[in-house]
Amino acid sequence: MDRLNLGPNNPNDELAHAYSITGATWNGVRHYLYGGTRATQAAASLDLISHLSLRVSFDGQESVNAPIGSFFGSGLGKFDVRSLMLAIDTLADNGAFTSWWPMPFTQSVTVSLENQGAETVHGSIDLVWADWADPTSCSAHGGSGSNATWGYFSTQYQRANTVSGQYWNFLSTEGREWPTA
């Protein structure tokens, strides 16, 4: 099934799908969040995922500290996310936030949730990992093997108001110079 978008933000759809809008009584863009239970749940989920931070440390070095909603790709509320590297399943009893990012480490990993909001949070963290065939090949861990290309998984999170006419710097980091062959 093709997707059908109506209205002024989709001017080519009338032609592409061979339909026309006649007798329109309103023109513009509307954003709906229906009242009642659904709106209350959406507002509560936004508050929760904005104030619940995921913190991850590898070998004693923290490299992830971000609101759980932003980390899992749903910063505007607890909504379904299905992507290659992460997902949020809202059909599970209390939701399931799942990540499949490669996160190499040699000695230890620590994962925690930090609640900075007023609502009490109950949950659990399940970790699944596989042994690394050759941890000495990881340059982040002092390895010098020919496959020394692995490093630690890392994220950056920042939030501020944007200013009209000014660029928003969303990433500032130093890169690494790759050795030439």
Domains of the chain (ranges; CATH) run: 43-141 (2.60.120.1390)
Model pLDDT for residues 78-124, shown as the tens digit of each residue: 888 888 999 988 877 667 889 988 888 878 899 999 999 888 888 88
Model pLDDT for residues 59-81, shown as the tens digit of each residue: 999 999 999 989 998 887 788 88
pTM: 0.64
Model pLDDT for residues 134-153, shown as the tens digit of each residue: 655 555 555 444 444 567 88
What one-character DSSP code corresponds to residue 136?
Answer: G
Contacts of 41 (CB under 8 A, 6+ apart): none
